[in-house]
Amino acid sequence: MICFQFFGSLFWNPVDAKDAADGAQVIDLPYGGKSFSMTIILPSGGTDIDQFASSLTQEQWNTLVGKLDSSKVELYLPKFKLEYNKKLNEELKALGMGIVFSDFADLSRISTSAPLCVSSVVHKTFVEVNEEGTEAAAVTSIGIGITRAFPNPTPVMRIDRPFIFAIREHASGTILFIGKIVSPL
């Protein structure tokens, strides 16, 4: 289920925003301890989001993220909630883990009372962004206040066209979630 409604806020805590390559903009919304953040890449208007996403290289990603710096930003971002469920049995079997799903599985370290095998592996994720912050899996943070009048010098970023988002861990650079919003209006 995806529901869009825009909300606006001024981030008084440092939030990163910077013009990036090819006219794209990037903003980083830190989670509580600042070890994790949601990074949003907004391609320039008229850019095909699918083409942009498929042509984004690791080097370009590193360049975009490397240009981030702290600044105050008046941000208008659509509320959204994405949920994804996927049964992974077939994928795991294709990776050579088929035996754990069969009668030949040796899971005796889990239970010695009865022979066990894996019946299913299900991956469930969700990401939600609203006025209260962002939530991904069970991690919640980013306090967002009510919109009010702002002085002119504050940069404005409107996420009002297709964009890419990623939730990443800073120390290792690991991307935990990545997605694209195609119709934010």
pLDDT at 141: 26
135, part of any domain:
yes
pLDDT at 22: 57
95, part of any domain:
no
Pick from 153, 128, 149: which is nearest to 139 by CA? 128
The domain in which residue 26 lies consists of 6-84+124-181
DSSP for 129-181, written as a single string: EETTEEEETTEEE----------TTS-EEE--S-EEEEEEETTT--EEEEEEE
Count: domains in the chain: 1
1, part of any domain:
no
Q: With the C-alpha atoms ordered 63, 136, 147, 163, is the resulting torsion angle positive or negative?
A: positive
Q: Three-state DSSP class for 8?
A: strand
SS3 letters for 83-142?
EEEEECHHHHHHHHHHHHHCCCCCCCCCCCCCCCCCCCCEEEEEEEEECCEEEECCEEEC
Q: 124 phi and psi, to 5 degrees?
A: -125, 130
Q: Three-state DSSP class for 45?
A: coil
> In CATH, what number is assigned to the domain containing residue 13?
2.30.39.10
CA distance linking residue 158 with residue 56, whole number of Å:
21
CA distance linking residue 37 with residue 127, whole number of Å:
12
Q: What is the pLDDT of residues 56-84, one digit of tens each?
A: 888 888 888 887 777 777 777 888 787 87
Q: Which two tokens stand for residue 179?
A: 């997605």
156, part of any domain:
yes
Q: What is the pTM of this model?
A: 0.65
pLDDT at 150: 42
Instruction: Tell me the mean pLDDT in the region 80-109.
Output: 83
20, part of any domain:
yes
